[in-house]
């Protein structure tokens, strides 16, 4: 009888468990590191400039919309920026956001 009860509970847990989907699968805290380069173009030439690497925390917050989240980015140097993102199926698409970066010309 105990075996039967255990199997019944196991089947119930399996049927009742659900996968996170939509916004819920992305909500939480993440770490990030940015790197790469910018291509700066002028009328006569273009050249690449290395990005300053940034590391920090990325927090994705549910804002009670079916397919939208708020993204808060805290960098290790203390800057904070926010933007929104859209969830489609199992992908997240970050909205465009403007940032200013200093570029040192050699």
Q: Distance (Å, rounded) from C-alpha 54 to C-alpha 62?
A: 25
Lowest mean pLDDT among 4-8, 29-33, 34-38, 56-60: 4-8
CA dist list (Å): 33 to 13, 42, 75, 81, 103: 38, 29, 9, 15, 19
How many beta carbons lie within 10 A of that of residue 39, not counting itself?
8
Q: Predicted confidence band at 21 (pLDDT cuts at 50, 70, 90)?
A: low
Kindly report the backbone phi and psi dihedral angles of residue 58, in degrees, each rounded to the nearest multiple of 5, phi listed first: -120, 120
Does residue 92 carry a pLDDT above 50? yes
């Amino acid at each position: 009888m105990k075996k039967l009860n255990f199997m019944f509970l196991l089947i119930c847990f399996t049927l009742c468990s659900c996968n996170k989907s939509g916004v819920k699968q992305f909500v939480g805290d993440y770490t990030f590191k940015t790197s790469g380069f910018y291509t700066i173009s002028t009328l006569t030439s273009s050249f690449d400039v290395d990005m300053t690497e940034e590391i920090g925390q990325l927090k994705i917050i549910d804002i009670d919309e079916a397919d939208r989240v708020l993204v808060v980015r805290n960098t290790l140097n203390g800057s904070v920026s926010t933007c929104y993102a859209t969830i489609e199926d199992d992908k997240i698409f970050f909205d465009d956001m403007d940032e200013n970066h200093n570029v040192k010309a050699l």
